């Protein structure tokens, strides 16, 4: 006796006329019964449709992609300018100090002032970048999600996280820059170039 | 625009006509959203996935050459994304852990002999949902497409790029698994009373 295969039983479970084989085969009847039980149970737990969100439009998708591209670009800008700052600092700040410290004598106090000035400049630059970043984000924010409070909330959470991470990176960068400068000063002092 | 056939709208959207793309999305947004939600069973995850799916459709629309219907192509992208997601996010172990936290025990642990008893205490629906969650990603997709989204076997086969017999076989295994779990529980309840 050839039993019904899985596809045949599924067809019957979904409304195809029952095969005569079922009249004579307990095993296949049992398998079909299990399918019916499974199907009934699965239908029982069907979830209600999700409430429909705002219509998906080509414009929204373009904006969404742009938002992510914008974010990546803004983040890259901050990181690059941080590195850039560091580079330009070593080109201007450090190298100037090299020249100053290598050649002319300079008092420790003057160096400390210089150090403080440099640090203030870094902080100012970072604040400026953060402001630019914030402005860019705000623009996208208003443009894209003005009409959707839920997405607005989500976006603002993401934005906060991103800004926090940039803040953290800035802090690390400043701390390490400071350490570098202090060790440099210490090294120069040991070499006797500084008082 | 509303009465236009899918392929006509696709052709226009491929030429860069945004309203045509919008009309297409309007036509499928509900179905795709519901399918994704019923598959992943989490609104937030579903919402993210649906957005990704539509971005993908927008990005890849130019590559659609009309070898299948647009809806087949769209549901293929949606199904693949969903299945990928489940495979990435929910390894067996994670699912098991999740269930342990939900039920207070691991229903998949054969060493735990009191599992059946405690399953009886759980709500019927939860038990069925649990059985559905235990299905593998492919079986579950066929189940959702057929039982919840009421797609034809032919459409499912086309969307998943599978032979009809494979689709039916997967559905068989899915329903058999759920059916067995339910019957097992009914049996335990009968013995218990
Ligand atoms: Zn038989």
In a domain, A100, yes or no: yes
In a domain, A165, yes or no: yes
Q: For each of the domains in chain B, give its residue range(s) and CATH number, in order of start.
A: 1-93 (1.10.1740.10), 95-193 (1.10.10.10)
Q: Are A100 and A134 found together in one domain?
A: yes
In a domain, A130, yes or no: yes
CA trace torsion B61, B64, B70, B71 (10° rounding): -70
First-to-last C-alpha distance (Å) of chain A: 104
Q: Are A40 and A99 found together in one domain?
A: no
In a domain, A1, yes or no: no
Q: Are A139 and A103 found together in one domain?
A: yes
Q: For B11-20, what is each residue's pLDDT tens digit?
A: 999 999 999 9
Q: Are A94 and A136 found together in one domain?
A: yes
pLDDT at A57: 84
Q: Are A27 and A92 found together in one domain?
A: no
Domain extent at residue A41: 6-52+149-190
pLDDT at residue A183 greater than cutoff 60 = yes
Q: For residue B33, which of B21, B22, B45 has the smallest C-alpha distance?
A: B45
Element housing A37 (H / E): helix A26-44
In a domain, A34, yes or no: yes
In a domain, A159, yes or no: yes
Give B61's DSSP letter.
G
In a domain, A22, yes or no: yes
Give the length of chain A: 195
Q: What is the ipTM of this complex?
A: 0.81
Q: Are A70 and A133 found together in one domain?
A: yes
- Interval between CA A3 and ligand 1 midpoint (Å): 4
Question: Helices (DSSP H) in A45-148: which residue ranges?
Answer: 58-88, 95-102, 108-145
Which residues in chain A are contacts of B168 at CB distance < 8 A?
Answer: 6-7, 10-11
Q: Which of B168, B181, B184 to mutate to test the interface with A (most CBs of A within 10 A)?
A: B168
Q: Are A111 and A153 found together in one domain?
A: no
The DSSP string of B128-179 is: HHHHHHTS-HHHHHHHIIIIIS---HHHHHHHHT--HHHHHHHHHHHHHHHH
**Count of domains forming chain A:** 2
Res. A11 pLDDT band, cuts 50 70 90: very high
In a domain, A195, yes or no: no
- Interval between CA A21 and ligand 1 midpoint (Å): 6
Question: Helices (DSSP H) in chain B: which residue ranges?
Answer: 6-14, 18-40, 43-60, 70-89, 92-103, 115-121, 124-133, 137-143, 153-160, 164-192
Contact of B38 with B148, CB cutoff 8 Å? yes
Q: Are A108 and A81 found together in one domain?
A: yes
Dihedral sign of CA atoms A92, A93, A95, A99 in order: positive
Res. A127 pLDDT band, cuts 50 70 90: low
Q: For B1-10, what is each residue's pLDDT tens digit?
A: 777 899 999 9
pLDDT at residue A189 greater than cutoff 80 = no
Give the length of chain B: 193
Q: Are A41 and A73 found together in one domain?
A: no
Q: Are A137 and A74 found together in one domain?
A: yes
Which residues in chain A are contacts of B46 at CB distance < 8 A?
Answer: 50
pLDDT at B120: 47
Closest-CA residue in chain B for A50? B34
Q: Are A112 and A78 found together in one domain?
A: yes
Q: Are A118 and A157 found together in one domain?
A: no
């Amino acid at each position: 006796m050839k039993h019904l295969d899985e596809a045949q039983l599924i067809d019957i479970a979904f409304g195809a006329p029952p095969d005569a084989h079922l009249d004579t085969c307990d095993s296949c009847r049992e398998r079909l019964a299990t399918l019916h039980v499974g199907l009934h149970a699965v239908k029982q737990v069907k979830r209600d449709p999700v409430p429909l969100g705002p219509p998906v439009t080509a414009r929204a998708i373009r904006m969404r992609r742009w938002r992510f591209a914008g974010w990546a670009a803004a983040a890259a800008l901050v990181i690059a300018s941080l590195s850039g700052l560091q580079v330009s600092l070593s080109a201007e700040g450090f190298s100037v100090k090299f020249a100053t410290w290598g050649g002319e004598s300079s008092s420790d106090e003057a160096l400390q002032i210089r150090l403080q000035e440099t640090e203030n400049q870094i902080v100012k630059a970072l604040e400026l970048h953060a402001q630019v970043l914030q402005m860019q984000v705000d623009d996208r924010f208003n443009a894209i999600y003005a009409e959707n409070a839920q997405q607005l909330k989500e976006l603002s959470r993401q934005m906060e996280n991103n800004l926090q991470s940039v803040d953290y990176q800035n802090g690390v960068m400043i701390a390490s820059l400071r350490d570098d400068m202090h060790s440099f000063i210490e090294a120069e002092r040991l070499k006797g170039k500084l008082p | 625009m509303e009465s236009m056939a899918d392929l006509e709208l696709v052709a226009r959207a491929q030429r860069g006509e945004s309203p045509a793309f919008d009309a297409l999305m309007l036509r499928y947004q509900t179905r795709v959203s519901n399918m994704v939600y019923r598959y992943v069973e989490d609104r937030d995850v579903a919402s993210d996935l649906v957005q990704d799916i539509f971005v993908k459709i927008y990005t890849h629309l130019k590559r659609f050459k009309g070898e299948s219907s647009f809806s087949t192509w769209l549901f293929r992208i949606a199904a693949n994304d969903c299945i990928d997601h489940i495979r990435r996010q929910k390894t067996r172990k994670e699912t098991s852990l999740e269930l342990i936290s939900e039920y207070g025990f691991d229903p998949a642990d054969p060493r735990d002999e009191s599992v059946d008893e405690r399953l009886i205490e759980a709500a019927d629906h939860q038990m069925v949902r649990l059985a559905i969650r235990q299905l593998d990603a492919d079986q579950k997709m066929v189940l959702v497409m057929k039982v919840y989204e009421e797609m034809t076997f032919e459409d499912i086969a086309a969307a998943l790029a599978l032979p009809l017999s494979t689709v039916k076989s997967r559905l068989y295994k899915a329903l058999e698994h759920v059916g067995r779990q339910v019957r097992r529980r009914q049996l335990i309840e009968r013995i218990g009373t």
